[in-house]
Amino acid sequence: MAIAHTLVPRVTSVAPSYQHGQAPDYDTASMAELRAWVDTIAELTQPDRVHWVDGSRAENTHLMNQLVDEGKLIKLNPEWRPGSYLARSHPSDVARTEARTFIASNREEDAGPTNNWADPTEMRATMNTVFAGSMRGRTMYVIPFSMGPVGGALSHIGVQVTDSAYAVASMSIMTRVGASVLERIADGDPWVRTVHSVGAPLQPGEADVEWPCNDDKYIVHFPDTLEVYSYGSGYGGNAILAKKCFALRIASVIARDEGWLAEHMLLVRVISPEGKQYHVAAAFPSACGKTNLAMLRPTIPGWKVETLGDDIVWIRPGTDGRLYAMNPEAGFFGVAPGTGESTNITAVETLWGNTIFTNVALRPDGDVWWEGLTDTPPEGLIDWEGNPWNPASGKPAAHPNSRFTVSAAQCPQISDDWENPEGVPLDAILFGGRRASNVPLVVEATDWTHGVFLGATISSERTAAAEGTVGELRRDPFAMLPFCGYNMGDYFAHWLNVGKSLRFDRAPRIFQVNWFRRGDDGRFLWPGFGDNARVIDWIIRRVEGQVSAEATPIGRIPLIDDLDLSGLTIPEADLAELFDIDPQAWLAEADSTEEFFEIFGDRLPAALRSELDALRYRLAQTQRSLT
């Protein structure tokens, strides 16, 4: 089959033309390598056309209009949501497919026990089989993109080829796309190769469907050659390969080799009443309040929070002995349900327009709705599958994993310098999980190694029988369990090694937080949301040495009088329970931690085993003193 490449004549030019689908005409060996790779993928997948994405407004407008005309997007009412669209995925394609996500490292032990390993030779053969002819009848888009500002010291670039226009539109929001990236490639900058197909070729004359996908799905990472192949899914991180696939799984491997950290974290600037700035990164598993903290509006007077990033942070040691952090993404890809005026007004205000919504409900007036946006659902909703919604059905109007994709620049709390290519110096790192018991509201690590131990043991308690045994711990170290691209035992060791490169007086302080502790009656003991700023206030004052802390077997906790609780009415018994440490319960948790550590065998750093032994010793000492 002849491929309709939209090529222009080769010319030698400092700034070659690159417009509306044309291939670049840079005359360099690096660009020749890129064109040859694109040709190889096109020969395998057999698209009808190849379109090089230039990232222009005109191109995006044409693409969105095309998707509307094809019935793949619904244009929302511009009066309520200008420049915004609704997509509905196939019911079988609504989330990440972790069971079909593979790390195809040369050695199985390098993938580690928490990843699905695949033999790279066998997996390449499988990929060649499923991708063969997978783009017939479709356009193959070539997307040059940058994670982080183009050319920034902390940035990395890549190229994604895809047959999904929805993926192109999403990548154009989530990354920096266009000619400036190709200039870096032409100059010889290294780049990551990512390939995506929905796996739904069209026969001549065959009509397309609203959401093409395939029941057979693969998301495969080749860390030794820095490649990603994704097949069969058009949804979220399965199709937006710059996100979890590149910015975490592949980037974590690059970071290991280059001496930095690629983390599943938010990043904020906290400004004190005195106007002093502090920078905080935080790692939370899903459903633990990460987005809410990223867009925090403090309830205590004088404090202000500016958003720098809500999901991924790249962190590098500086020459001054500090850590510098940057959000490599250009947009937010957030979960819609639970996002409302009472929980995250900043996120709601960010979504005023220019947003792609996926699998939310449609209102009769052409706007969108999801559970949690308002207390009462409007009448006449069309649910995420396109059917009239009946509140009595017991089914949600929006899918629980429905999403919004929007530029970070629209966030009213975004920092003016959020795209600073040098990043910001970190003052504190937080780790947190959803724990109904045991874990106090906030605990400070005693040093960097203890902080790594806290990060490695982050977990959430299962909350319903349908999810498993109530109270059972679901481990998610550093909130990276699904996203680390190599053996997590080696990942823990890498964190320890990064700490060795820092000045002890300039390394960020590490804390564990838990907004979700409950009383015996099941109610939350801490109000959460904007009042979490009271914990941040204490953390900042600890960094500044303005308040002391109480030493406990698990770390340092606040003195109650040092917490700013003005305007709150929290019973003394609740405050005591928020910081209660039961040695017997913690010894049982230490046993659970040992079981978890055992899966890493000799890849677990000895320092973490020592931390566990020391924890047990301190707990036993405390238990003896109580009896």
Nearest to 84 by CA among 21, 143, 169: 169
CATH number for the domain spanning 153: value is 3.40.449.10
pLDDT at 483 over 60: yes
Q: pLDDT at position 96, please? A: 85
| Per-residue pLDDT band at 471 (split at 50, 70, 90) | low
**16 assigned to some structural domain:** yes
Task: Give me the mean pLDDT over the 307-326 stretch.
Answer: 97
Backbone φ, ψ for residue 268 (5° rounding): -135, 155
Which of residues 258, 292, 307 is at a domain's end? 258
pLDDT at 175 over 70: yes
Find where tokens 């203890």 sit: 450
Same domain (yes/no): 22, 122: yes
Tens of pLDDT along 539-572?
999 999 999 999 999 999 999 999 999 999 999 9
Q: Cβ of 572: how many Cβ atoms within 10 Å?
A: 8
**273 assigned to some structural domain:** yes
Q: pLDDT at position 12, please? A: 30
**91 assigned to some structural domain:** no
| Per-residue pLDDT band at 467 (split at 50, 70, 90) | very low
Q: pLDDT at position 248, please? A: 98
Same domain (yes/no): 241, 266: no
Query: In angstroms, how far is CA 381 from the centroid of its own chain?
Result: 30
Tens of pLDDT along 203-251?
999 999 999 999 999 999 999 999 999 999 999 999 999 999 999 999 9
Same domain (yes/no): 405, 431: no
Q: pLDDT at position 298, please? A: 96
Nearest to 288 by CA among 335, 329, 249: 335
Residue of 213, 245, 288, 411 with catalytic role: 288
Q: How far apart are CA 569 and CA 295, in angstroms?
A: 24
| Per-residue pLDDT band at 87 (split at 50, 70, 90) | very high
DSSP-derived secondary structure letter, 158: E
Q: Residue 406: what residue type?
A: V
CATH number for the domain spanning 283: value is 3.90.228.20
SS (H, E, C) 163-223: CCHHHHHHHHHHCEECHHHHHHHHCCCCEEEEEEECCCCCCCCCCCCCCCCCCCCEEEEEC
Instruction: Yes or no: say if 435 and 514 are a contact pair by the CB < 8 Å rule.
Output: yes
pLDDT at 413 over 60: yes
Which of residues 358, 380, 410 is at a domain's end? 410
| Per-residue pLDDT band at 465 (split at 50, 70, 90) | very low
Share of the chain above pLDDT 70, in %: 95
Same domain (yes/no): 127, 151: yes
**288 assigned to some structural domain:** yes
Q: How far apart are CA 366 and CA 76, in angstroms?
A: 5
Q: Cβ of 454: how many Cβ atoms within 10 Å?
A: 25
Same domain (yes/no): 121, 59: yes
Instruction: Yes or no: say if 453 and 611 are a contact pair by the CB < 8 Å rule.
Output: yes
Least confident range from 17-21, 101-105, 110-114, 181-185: namely 17-21
Task: Give me the mean pLDDT over the 325-333 stretch.
Answer: 98
| Residue 528 structural domain | 262-329+418-626
Q: pLDDT at position 470, please? A: 52
**562 assigned to some structural domain:** yes
| Per-residue pLDDT band at 340 (split at 50, 70, 90) | very high
**82 assigned to some structural domain:** no
Q: Count CA atoms closer than 13 A to 465's CA, side-chain side.
A: 0
Q: Which residue has the higher pLDDT, 324 or 466?
A: 324
Nearest to 193 by CA among 164, 157, 149, 148: 157
Same domain (yes/no): 104, 129: yes
Number of domains the chain contains: 3
pLDDT at 159 over 90: yes
**104 assigned to some structural domain:** yes
DSSP-derived secondary structure letter, 77: P
Task: Give me the mean pLDDT over the 39-60 stretch.
Answer: 96
| Per-residue pLDDT band at 346 (split at 50, 70, 90) | very high
Same domain (yes/no): 123, 183: yes
Q: pLDDT at position 97, please? A: 87
Entry pTM: 0.94
Number of residues in the chain: 627
Q: pLDDT at position 462, please? A: 62
| Per-residue pLDDT band at 521 (split at 50, 70, 90) | very high
For residue 140, the cross-strand partners are 50
**85 assigned to some structural domain:** no
Q: Which residue has the higher pLDDT, 335 or 468?
A: 335
Q: pLDDT at position 538, please? A: 98
Q: pLDDT at position 484, please? A: 98
Which of residues 380, 410, 440 is at a domain's end? 410
With the CA atoms of 118, 121, 122 and 123 taken in that order, what torsion angle do they form, in degrees rounded to the nearest 10?
60
The secondary structure of 247-313 as a DSSP string is IIIIHHHHHHHHT-EEES-EEEEEE-TT--EEEEEEE--TTSSHHHHHT---SSTT-EEEEEESS-E
| Per-residue pLDDT band at 23 (split at 50, 70, 90) | confident
Q: How far apart are CA 104 and CA 100, in angstroms?
A: 12
pLDDT at 498 over 90: yes
Q: How far apart are CA 208 and CA 606, in angstroms?
A: 56
Find where tokens 């909130």 sit: 479
Task: Give me the mean pLDDT over the 381-405 stretch.
Answer: 96
Same domain (yes/no): 568, 601: yes
95 token code pair: 């989330």
| Per-residue pLDDT band at 613 (split at 50, 70, 90) | very high
What mean pLDDT value characterizes the chain? Answer: 93
Same domain (yes/no): 339, 286: no
> For this structure, is 484 an active site residue?
no
CATH number for the domain spanning 337: value is 2.170.8.10
Backbone φ, ψ for residue 123 (5° rounding): -70, -35
For residue 332, the cross-strand partners are 406
Backbone φ, ψ for residue 61 (5° rounding): -60, -45
| Per-residue pLDDT band at 435 (split at 50, 70, 90) | very high
Same domain (yes/no): 392, 287: no
Same domain (yes/no): 20, 128: yes
Same domain (yes/no): 135, 209: yes
| Per-residue pLDDT band at 11 (split at 50, 70, 90) | very low
